[in-house]
Structure 1
Amino acid sequence: MSNPVPLTEIWRGDRVESLHLGHAVICAPSGEILRAWGDPDAVIYPRSSAKMIQALPLVESGAAEAAGLTSEHLALACASHDGAHIHTDRVDAWLTGLGLDDDDLRCGPQMPDDPAAMKELLCADAEPRQVHNNCSGKHAGFLTLTKHLGAGPDYVGIDHPVQQAVKAAWEDVTGEPVQGWSPDGCSAPNFAGSLKGLARAMAYFAAAREDGDSPRERAAARLRAAMAKHPELVAGEGRACTRLMRAMNGAVVVKTGAEAVYVAIVPERKLGVALKIADGATRASEATVTALLIRLGVLERGGEAAASYLDAPILNRRGITTGHIRAAPGLLD
């Protein structure tokens, strides 16, 4: 990954102990780069930060409407959830409504990250199911589109009509051809692209109108609104995505991806943000997206949520503050 720059600093006492390098882009819907740090042409896997792009065919095809999906379903289609009952109960009911069950998913089982759900499984000596996978909402969306298209059951195949529809949507909203792909942690194809393309796509979502001119624009607006309305379904209690969206009262949508990718959709400014921390550190991606949201004037720096990720104290095992997580110079200026 070429020419990453410092984005997050880890201070201990009066000196910088560690640096997290990466790339970040703020973009307009036209593709114009308004501000960049590092290399905006850096090619990355967006991982789960791109789930709203993967959900576009579900909505624009009419499959969501035909299946009677609500804003809760659409939020889950874009989610990387914790596997709490508020997530798994809804996905179970969604599958039942399609005449399907856990075995029809292709995401694989995952122990839930939600502490209560994890404890429940462990105490019952029960194995996690695929519905506990953080991507099960996205996969329920894929199954909904699969059924609508009358396509085969192996919807994660790169040549499957569902994934070909996702590829076409990706290339449209990023404004560039895909630059390769790899199976994601949930087995669905994850398309590689430039960071500026990902930021452009987020700006597309930011500018989209529910009464827009095309089914794709209207779909983007619906998905954005669903995520903003249900931040607890997009991630979970205590998670950065949920806490930051709540702190901004739904005015901005943020979404994380594995290996320290983060995106933000800022409708009021019609802006998209995308960032990637080179070493894959989540603490740095959360601090960096928080700093950029403060820079854009959409998140209060002194608020509780912001303070949890930026200027956040680092505590030792006795609870003594030993340092802080800070934005690198130039990120907030």
Structure 2
Amino acid sequence: MTAPEAMIELWRGGMCESVHHGHAVIFGPEGIEAAWGDPETVIFPRSSVKMIQALPLLESGAAEAAGLTTCQLALSCASHSGARMHRAAVEDWLATLGMKDDDLRCGAHLPRDKAEKKHLICADGAPCQAHNNCSGKHAGFLTLNRYLGGGPDYIDIDHPVQRAVKSAFEEVTEESSPRYGIDGCSAPNFATSLAGLARAMQFFASAKPDGDLRARAAARLVDAMMEYPEMVAGEGRACTEIMREANGRVAVKTGAEGVYVAMLPDQKRGVALKITDGATRASEAAIIALLIRLGALDANAPVVHRRLTGPITNWRGLKTGELRRAAQFP
């Protein structure tokens, strides 16, 4: 097994204070084009695979039967901030299904969005499951479940919804998943190699709207993410900022514990990376560095300054350090 490579460094006072190591793969039409660390390292992709988990929603006919909009398809791929617009969109979606918050199985947590969080705290209110960052994915699961006629616990590993998700996952990664873990939202998360994850992203990147059933579904999900980046994450979030500034050149998705993926339709390339210490700041910086390398982001784009090349400041606004790409990355 190849060791993870240094990717992102934190410098302070003229000295390298911290180093984030990881694995990364760029997958093109002919296979792996570049790799750092070990492409065969097995990871839990976490929320980076929500577009794969949404494939059965479209392939089954459930999305069409429910009349889902492009915005709702983007929400099905989201790790949103729980802003009022996200909560309202999920609640409206549930209402069209004749369902309520209690039908979700993702659990409730305070929203990441500052305004909505302040509103709840000041009103002495409690968050609902629609605030959960995965509630859009779960609304998609409920839509698929109603179409399939399964039981209410759609997160169970042997439920028809999760069997459909696993089948799609293994087919697009072209690997049998060796195991699964339970994600933060209570749904199964299937493990795969980083190369398999990048291969799946290359499939999404190359999918055409006039292709076969799966390709049409994948193309719709990628287009939805790029059309509604604010629904995929939220204001001030890296996924939203990257997609806005890439302006149709890339769809990206973060996952917990330092995972990030990218799909570049014009280039038919997929990218997957894992920071081994699980740091989000490093995964954001690393995916931006790779997208600059691939020409999908301008090196002078504001998101690059905010999350990779700009200064780190303290509470008084004084510069204390900076992030840097490690010497051999990317």
Decide whether the 8 Å contact of 2:310 with 2:323 is kept in 1: yes
Cα displacement (A) at 1:15: 2.1
- Distance (Å, rounded) in 1 between the aligned partners of 2:304 and 2:92: 35
Q: Which residue of 1 aligns with 2:130?
A: 131
The alpha carbon displacement at 1:302 in A equals 1.0
SS of the residue aligned with 2:252?
strand
Residue number in structure 2 paired with 1:300? 298
Deviation track 1:159-218 (CA, whole Å, cap 9, x = no partner) reads 001100000100111011012001100000000000000000000000000110x21111
Amino acid at match of 1:8: I
Letter in 2 for 1:167: K
Matches within 5 A, 1:63-74: 63-74=62-73
Letter in 1 for 2:307: Y
Unaligned runs of 5+ in 2: none
The residue that corresponds to 1:320 in the other structure is 318
2:267 alignment partner, SS class: coil
Which residue of structure 2 lines up, in the alignment, with residue 24 of structure 1?
Answer: 24
**Which secondary structure state, in structure 2, belongs to the residue aligned with residue 20 of structure 1?**
strand
Counterpart of 2:105 in structure 1 is 106
Distance, in Å, in 1 between the alignment partners of 2:291 and 2:222 is: 17
Partner of 1:6: 6
Superposed CA deviations along residues 59-116 of structure 1, whole A, max 9, x for unmatched, are 1111000000010110000000000111110110100000100000000001000001
Distance 2:2 2:55 in 1: 31
Pairing 1:142-153 to 2, within 5 Å after superposition: 142-153=141-152
State how far apart, in whole Å, the 2-side matches of 1:117 and 1:305 are: 24
Cα pair 2:87 2:130 within 8 Å, conserved? yes
Partner Cα separation in structure 2 for residue 200 and residue 29 of structure 1: 9
How far did 1:29 drift? 4.4
The residue identity in structure 1 corresponding to 2:14 is: D
Contact 1:312 1:326 in 2 (8 A): no
Q: Is the 8 A contact 1:25 1:35 kept in 2?
A: yes
TM-score (norm: length of structure 1)? 0.97
Distance 1:331 1:222 in 2: 32
**Structure 2 CA distance, aligned partners of 1:161 and 1:205?**
24
Question: Residue 46 of structure 1: CA displacement?
Answer: 0.3
1:266-285 equivalences in 2 (<5 Å) = 266-285=264-283
Offset of 1:16 from its aligned partner?
1.2
The answer to whether 1:82 aligns with 2:54 is: no
1:15 counterpart residue number: 15
TM-score, structure 2 normalization: 0.98
Structural mapping, 1:158-169, within 5 Å: 158-169=157-168
TM-aligned CA deviation for residue 321 of structure 1: 1.1
Separation in 2, partners of 1:100, 1:4: 46
Give 1:12's aligned amino acid. Answer: R
Q: RMSD of the alignment, in Å?
A: 1.0
1:118 to 2:145 alignment: no
Q: Do the aligned partners of 1:29 and 1:200 also contact (CA within 8 Å) in 2?
A: no
Q: Does the aligned pair in 2 maintain the 1:7–1:21 contact within 8 Å?
A: yes
Q: State the distance in 1 between where 2:192 and 2:301 align.
A: 34
Letter aligned with residue 22 of structure 1:
G
Q: What's the offset of the Cα at 1:318? A: 2.0
User: Which residue does the alignment assign to 1:178?
Assistant: 177
Q: Whole-Å Cα distance in 2 between the matches of residues 78 and 179 of structure 1?
A: 24
Write the distance in 2 (CA, Å) between the matches of 1:115 and 1:29: 41
Deviation at 1:12, TM superposition (A): 1.2
Give the secondary-structure state (helix, strand or coil) at the position aligned to 1:285.
helix
Contact 2:6-2:329 at 8 Å conserved across structures: no
Partner SS for 1:72: helix
Q: Out of 103-112 and 313-322, give the one that drifted further.
A: 313-322
Secondary structure in 1 aligned to 2:292?
helix
The 1-side partners of 2:64 and 2:110 are apart by 31
SS at 1:310 equivalent: helix
The answer to whether the 8 A contact 2:80-2:86 is kept is yes
